[in-house]
């Protein structure tokens, strides 16, 4: 009898851990089934001249902003609802989440959302989906830093989206 109770407890414990684990990850990774965008690669070490490797000015600036964080591999995901605009390199994305830049090695994702035509940038933890954006001025994870590049870097990014610029 004792053994059965114990076994049941152990099973319940594992079931609980499993349920919590999967629901958190499943809830946070809302982009899991979205198609991949063009932006994809690995963030090179600080000091790398990506222009010499076929990169452009904005990519060089991005490397200089984020190399110190050592974010590793990145993959972009585009909301299927935004895919038409993405393919056309349109300037006006529909309201809602537009795209995600996932840095799986460090468990962080950058998000761009459109609300009433205006962009909202955020940095979230892939573990629980909570924002880890910074409020410190000029911090690489401050949404104002995202804005400076996505909205105004020589007009390279269309509709606040950069990965489809080529």
Report the interface residues with ligand HEC, using CB under 6 A.
37, 39, 41, 58-59, 61-62, 65, 76, 99-101, 110-112, 121-123, 141, 145-146, 149-150, 153, 161-163
Residues in the chain, how many?
166
Considering all CA atoms of the chain, what is the largest pairwise distance in Å, rounded to the nearest integer?
73
Is residue 143 classed as helix, strand or coil in its secondary structure? helix
Residue nearer to ligand HEC on the CB measure, 28 or 146: 146
The least CB distance from residue 141 to ligand HEC, in Å, is 5
Closest distance of CB 58 from ligand HEC, Å: 4
Q: Shortest approach of ligand HEC to residue 26 CB, angstroms?
A: 20
What's the CA gap between 52 and 36, in Å, rounded? 26
| Helices within the chain (DSSP H only) | 2-28, 57-66, 83-88, 143-152
Residue closer to ligand HEC, measured from CB, 3 or 155: 155
Neighbouring C-alpha atoms within 13 Å toward the C-beta of 80: 6
| Shortest reach from residue 25's CB to ligand HEC, in Å | 19
């Amino acid at each position: 009898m004792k053994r059965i109770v114990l076994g049941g407890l152990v099973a319940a414990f594992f079931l609980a851990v499993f349920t919590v684990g999967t629901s958190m990850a499943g809830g946070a990774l809302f982009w899991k089934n979205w198609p991949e965008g063009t932006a994809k690669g690995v963030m090179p070490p600080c000091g790398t001249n990506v222009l010499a490797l076929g990169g452009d000015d904005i990519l060089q600036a991005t490397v200089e902003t984020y190399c110190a964080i050592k974010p590793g591999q990145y993959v972009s995901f585009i909301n299927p609802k935004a895919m038409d605009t993405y393919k056309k390199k349109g300037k006006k994305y529909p309201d809602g989440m537009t795209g995600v830049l996932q840095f799986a090695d460090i468990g962080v994702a950058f998000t761009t959302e459109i609300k009433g035509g205006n962009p909202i940038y955020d940095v979230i933890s892939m573990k629980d989906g909570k924002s880890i954006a910074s409020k410190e001025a000029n911090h690489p994870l401050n949404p104002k830093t995202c804005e400076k590049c996505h909205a105004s870097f020589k007009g390279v990014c269309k509709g606040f989206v950069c990965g489809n610029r080529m």
